A = this chain, B = another copy of it.
Amino acid sequence: MASSQQKKKPSKSDQNVVPLIKGRRATSYDVARLAGVSQSAVSRCFKPGSSISGKMRERVMKAAKELEYQPNAIARGLITQRSNLVAVLVSGRLNLYYPEVLFKITEELAKAGLQALLFTVESEEDAESVIEQAWQYQVDAVISASHMSQAQYKVLEKRQIPVVFFNRYFSDHPNTVVYCDPSEQVHEVVKQLKTLGHQKAALITGPEDNMVSRERSRMLTQSLAEFGFDIVHEVRGDFTYESGTSALQDIKQSSSARPTVVMCINDMMAMGCMDEARFVLGWSVPEDLSIVSFDGIGMSQFASYELTTIRQPIGRMSEAAVRMITERVERPEQSHEKRVFEGAVIPGGSIARAPA
């Protein structure tokens, strides 16, 4: 006992008199030694707003530069309990909406000094393990644009990890959300279709468990009813191009009357649908069949498609998502917020007067 008390307790600063072997990363101690100051001084130099004198800062910075020192974000994260990492959950499926969202969010995060940790999630089972992964990495927050069950959300909530949902939310549980509400535009588009003499519509929706799909379908159904449309067919797809093509096959095969307009829950399926119509079924779009959709991703406006679609303001939504994330990280106790953006109709050339 006594003996252990005896032996000189080595202090941190003694230890680090390692002569900076080739290849070893310089630490704040190395910089401190070179500059002839304490490690704390070095630390303070790299933390804006710390009390430090001009000439000390200068000396430290010179030494830091010489050693190519950059603070170790891992060590910092350990002590500050902030990793500056944000998990971004998107789907990796071939729906080009996700890359657009992902890149915009990443950009905004970078502006806020945060790093995107990318996770692709195709199902709620995936989400399960992704959440554990993110938790291990001590992410400061999660932005979810993909699958997540309410139970999974509650786990994150209990662990006090702020979550922002991107264009999805739980209606029976408070949560922080950026959302695009296209109901106005749906109304507008359906009205226009009516004016163009359309009467029979088909719907290509998404999986039943998907909120975006449910909401959009609901709005469509409602507006179509309001204007006295017949919904002659309704098919479920999975948001991909391929599912758009096969959905139109389904519609064609069905015994019911042929629709004059197909309303797709997203652009990818609309593109599949359009290609199937033009190149397989030999229907002209928009002369024989009008197509409308949602999202307004970049390629929906390529000349081959020029979809009439309801755009989400992805840029502003990403900006808002990151702002909300940082706010929640600063003040976790503050109340939840749901920021709703309007959609916008991109006119496009995929609709026309109904065929006779």
Q: What 0/1 readout, one digit per residue, does chain A (254-286) give for beta carbons within 8 Å of chain B?
A: 000000000000000001101110111000000
Taking the complex as formed, is A118 at the interface, i.e. its CB lies under 8 A from any CB of chain B? Answer: yes
Taking the complex as formed, is A17 at the interface, i.e. its CB lies under 8 A from any CB of chain B? Answer: no
- Complex Cα gap A138–B71 (Å): 10
| B73 close to A137 (CB less than 8 A) | yes
* Chain B residue at minimum C-beta to C-beta distance from A115: B117
| B120 close to A117 (CB less than 8 A) | no
Taking the complex as formed, is A160 at the interface, i.e. its CB lies under 8 A from any CB of chain B? Answer: yes
| B71 close to A74 (CB less than 8 A) | no
Q: Of B75, B115, B136, which contacts A73 at CB under 8 A? A: B136
Contact flag A159-B68 (CB < 8 Å), given A106-B120, A304-B304: yes
What residues of B have a CB within 8 angstroms of the CB of A272 in the complex?
302
Contact flag A92-B106 (CB < 8 Å), given A99-B99, A279-B304: yes
Taking the complex as formed, is A241 at the interface, i.e. its CB lies under 8 A from any CB of chain B? Answer: yes
Q: What 0/1 readout, one digit per residue, does chain A (200-231) give for beta carbons within 8 Å of chain B?
A: 00000000000000000000000000000000
What residues of B have a CB within 8 angstroms of the CB of A75 in the complex?
78
What residues of B have a CB within 8 angstroms of the CB of A77 in the complex?
74
| B279 close to A136 (CB less than 8 A) | no
Taking the complex as formed, is A195 at the interface, i.e. its CB lies under 8 A from any CB of chain B? Answer: no
| B72 close to A138 (CB less than 8 A) | yes
Q: What 0/1 readout, one digit per residue, does chain A (90-104) give for beta carbons within 8 Å of chain B?
A: 001010101100110
- Complex Cα gap A118–B133 (Å): 16
What residues of B have a CB within 8 angstroms of the CB of A23 in the complex?
160
- Complex Cα gap A116–B78 (Å): 20
* Chain B residue at minimum C-beta to C-beta distance from A24: B160
What residues of B have a CB within 8 angstroms of the CB of A72 in the complex?
78, 136, 138
Q: What 0/1 readout, one digit per residue, does chain A (304-342) give for beta carbons within 8 Å of chain B?
A: 110000000000000000000000000000000000000
Q: Knowing that A92-B103, A304-B304 touch, tell me 16 more A-B residue pairs with CB under 8 angstroms.
A: A23-B160, A70-B136, A71-B136, A74-B74, A74-B137, A74-B138, A78-B78, A96-B96, A96-B299, A98-B99, A102-B118, A110-B120, A117-B117, A117-B118, A241-B298, A245-B303
Pull 23 A–B residue pairs with CB atoms less than 8 Å apart, ordered by A.
A5-B5, A9-B9, A23-B160, A68-B159, A74-B74, A74-B137, A74-B138, A78-B78, A94-B298, A98-B99, A103-B120, A106-B119, A106-B120, A107-B120, A115-B118, A116-B117, A117-B117, A118-B118, A245-B303, A272-B302, A275-B303, A275-B304, A278-B303
